[in-house]
Structure 1
Amino acid sequence: MNCTVLGCGRWGSFLASFHSRKNHVTLWGRKGSESFETLRNTRKNDYLTLPDTVTLCDDLGKALAASDTIIISISAQHLREFAERINGYPVAGKTFILCMKGLEEATGQRLSCVMKESITQAIKVAVWVGPGHVQDFLAGIPNCMVVDSEERGLTEEIVSGFQNELLRLYIGTDLIGTEIGAAAKNVMGIAAGMLDGKGLSSMKGALMARGAREIARLIAAMGGNELSAYGLCHLGDYEATLFSPHSHNRKFGEAVVKGEPYTKLAEGAPTVKALLRLGHEHGVELPICETVNSILYENASADEAFGKLFSRSTKEEFYL
């Protein structure tokens, strides 16, 4: 399955590089950006060397025209603006796969909805999420991920076309749950980093259990299947997000409570605002998300915020 990858960060460059072993791949990056210019000048970044079978391109129109299957791997908060640019080109009938995790901060919308709103042409949209770090894949360590869309046939086609010895792909059947779960796991990653920073790492097991239950309630209230929270999109991604030294969200949370700078992208920071918006709209309490939000945006100390979380009234473990 030939494809175009839009976005040349660590995940986009890995997908382009790995998939190009058997297929033609065009990798697009923004002209002048550090990541793209580094690849253009050296064909290397901090993680890999691009094979000759990857065609680099900074012309969005040409990149879109190069394939009918388009993978997007950029920051979630820039997707609407980017999709509106894409809409200026003839893309009707093309398949867009969102290899990114997040919710639009300003609206709380899922990324597939942002795509459908922003591109007025008839396109197909799928998401590809789940655990896995580029560093591990490049070391030959396999993992499992999930693909989801509103069309079963499209999901199966993508799984069949992209599955390989490193990436075992599963067929998702709950687009709402898959997208909410994938976005929310980044918030749990920030919470885990905060626990690490306060010397409370042993509590990450409890965070996993309560975090998955919190998000399951939200998914169900939004019309999704709450079991998705316990699948690859969310709970299945916890090890890679709550414990891995490669996790940007975990490292960001740890840096915040230690008062240290951190410059890498942590998608969970804007996503927590979107989740609280959704929780309010659907009448679902999200105490862990509220705790993270209070530390990030309300000047609450971690000690104060965690103390408030623990002083909440006791409930049955699996209350609705």
Structure 2
Amino acid sequence: MKTVIIGSGSWGTALAQVLQDNHHDVIIYGIEESQVRDINENHQNSVFFEGVQLNPELKATTDIEVVKEADIVLLAVPTFAIESICQKIDFLLTKKVIVINVAKGFHPETNERMSEVIRRSISSKHLSSVVSLIGPSHAEEVVIRLLTSIDSVSQNLEDAKTVQELFSNHYLRIYTGNDEIGSELGVAIKNVMAIASGIIAGLGYQDNTRAALITRGLQEMIRFGTYFGGKYQTYIGLTGVGDLIVTCTSVHSRNFEAGYKIGKENDVTDFFRTNKKTVEGVRTAKIVHKIAKENNIEMPICEEVYQILYEGKEPKTCANDLMLRELKQEF
């Protein structure tokens, strides 16, 4: 089976190397000629992984028509680009393919989950199924082959198993799952919690505060996800608490990094003025706020992050307000 990875960024490169290590037929498609040349000639992607040598057999191209040969297409692009890239490749596909998504978030305008966007944007004659390859993982660790476990989640269990078998090896273990709603909502909302975690670190709070944030953040994820049909059990797995822990505690997390900068300055202004990275939690906070309000879902941490990002509320005040909410039973 031939896999085409759409996106020559950090996660696309790391996952492509996994397949190359597993001796599968894989190629990366990227729009940045310098990155493609770096992979092909220097066996590096130094923009993202300085000093890391990639599998020398790994190849990349700037020719999007390579998808015509694909059996599997993996989308390693930001959430806002999923719809447009799907429409583009749908025009080029000549047969049914498995489409793997690794983005974590929502469509910026329709608020759809990524699997919904893909099914809407690729015709049924070209789409076997959508598989979400998601869970607690940082590309910076997978690319140097540190032990990692994530989920292959799909409504089509056979295709989920196909993806599981393709990517699993001695350093990457894949589990299958079928709770598409719960898993996709979990990995999206945890980005908002990671911003909150960065904020409290930037404000100077330490382990006790972070433990409380992660625990209560998990309750918000469960509350939101089960409201829309996700399974409770999903949230005690890799796409729930697993992804929440890694994103809320790691310096590799863009969402944590963004929150840390905001907390350190006790203000959001400079972050928006200087940030040039894709921080999915920023858009997700706005979407979750809207959906939660419309459906009367209590999301106090997400609400405070939204107020910091979009209403200019001071982070220190938000932390204080969360602590002084009405006292209640935990469960």
**Which band: TM-score by shorter chain?**
over 0.9
Cα distance in 1, alignment partners of residues 294 and 116 from structure 2 = 17
Give the 5 Å matches for 1:70-81.
70-81=73-84
Kept after mapping to 1: 8 A contact 2:187/2:244: no
| Cα distance change of structure 1 residues 41 and 156 upon mapping to structure 2, 3 Å threshold | closer
Question: Corresponding residue for 2:310?
Answer: 297
SS of equivalent residue, structure 1 residue 211:
helix
Question: Corresponding residue for 1:83?
Answer: 86
Pair 1:178-2:183 in alignment: yes
Kept after mapping to 2: 8 A contact 1:61/1:89: yes
Cα distance in 2, alignment partners of residues 10 and 265 from structure 1 = 12
Kept after mapping to 2: 8 A contact 1:29/1:58: yes
Cα distance in 1, alignment partners of residues 144 and 43 from structure 2 = 19
Kept after mapping to 2: 8 A contact 1:107/1:274: no
Q: Quote the offset at 1:109 in angstroms.
A: 0.9
Task: Tell me the amino acid that sits aligned with residue 121 of structure 1.
Answer: S
Point out the more displaced range, 288-297 or 237-246. 237-246
Kept after mapping to 2: 8 A contact 1:91/1:121: no
Gaps of 5+ in 2: none
Given candidates 95, 106, 111, the residue that maps to 1:108 is 111
Point out the more displaced range, 39-48 or 81-90. 39-48
SS of equivalent residue, structure 2 residue 239:
coil
SS of equivalent residue, structure 1 residue 144:
strand
Give the 5 Å matches for 1:52-201.
52-62=56-66, 64-122=67-125, 123=127, 124-201=129-206
Q: Quote the offset at 1:91 in angstroms.
A: 4.8
Gaps of 5+ in 1: none
| CA deviation string 1:85-105 (max 9, x = no partner) | 122222541000001211122
CA RMSD in angstroms, aligned pairs only: 1.8
Cα distance in 2, alignment partners of residues 187 and 37 from structure 1 = 35
Question: Corresponding residue for 1:286?
Answer: 299
Task: Tell me the amino acid that sits aligned with residue 98 of structure 1.
Answer: N
| CA deviation string 1:113-150 (max 9, x = no partner) | 01111112331111011112222234442021011011
Give the 5 Å matches for 1:2-41.
2-21=2-21, 22-32=23-33, 35-36=35-36, 38-39=38-39
Pair 1:209-2:215 in alignment: yes
Cα distance in 1, alignment partners of residues 2 and 57 from structure 2 = 11
Q: Quote the offset at 1:190 in angstroms.
A: 0.6
Task: Tell me the amino acid that sits aligned with residue 116 of structure 1.
Answer: R
Task: Tell me the amino acid that sits aligned with residue 180 of structure 2.
Answer: L
SS of equivalent residue, structure 1 residue 54:
coil
Cα distance in 2, alignment partners of residues 228 and 53 from structure 1 = 37
Kept after mapping to 2: 8 A contact 1:197/1:258: yes
Q: Quote the offset at 1:224 in angstroms.
A: 1.4
Residues paired across the two proteins, number: 316
| Cα distance change of structure 1 residues 120 and 67 upon mapping to structure 2, 3 Å threshold | closer
Point out the more displaced range, 69-78 or 153-162. 153-162
Cα distance in 1, alignment partners of residues 40 and 290 from structure 2 = 41
Cα distance in 2, alignment partners of residues 258 and 30 from structure 1 = 35
Question: Corresponding residue for 2:256?
Answer: 250
SS of equivalent residue, structure 1 residue 156:
helix
Kept after mapping to 2: 8 A contact 1:105/1:273: no
SS of equivalent residue, structure 2 residue 74:
strand
Question: Corresponding residue for 1:263?
Answer: 276
Cα distance in 1, alignment partners of residues 232 and 291 from structure 2 = 15
Pair 1:276-2:277 in alignment: no
Cα distance in 1, alignment partners of residues 55 and 68 from structure 2 = 21
TM-score between the two structures when normalised by the length of structure 1: 0.92
| Cα distance change of structure 1 residues 214 and 239 upon mapping to structure 2, 3 Å threshold | closer
TM-score between the two structures when normalised by the length of structure 2: 0.89
Q: Quote the offset at 1:230 in angstroms.
A: 2.0
Cα distance in 2, alignment partners of residues 130 and 172 from structure 1 = 11
Identity, % of aligned positions: 28
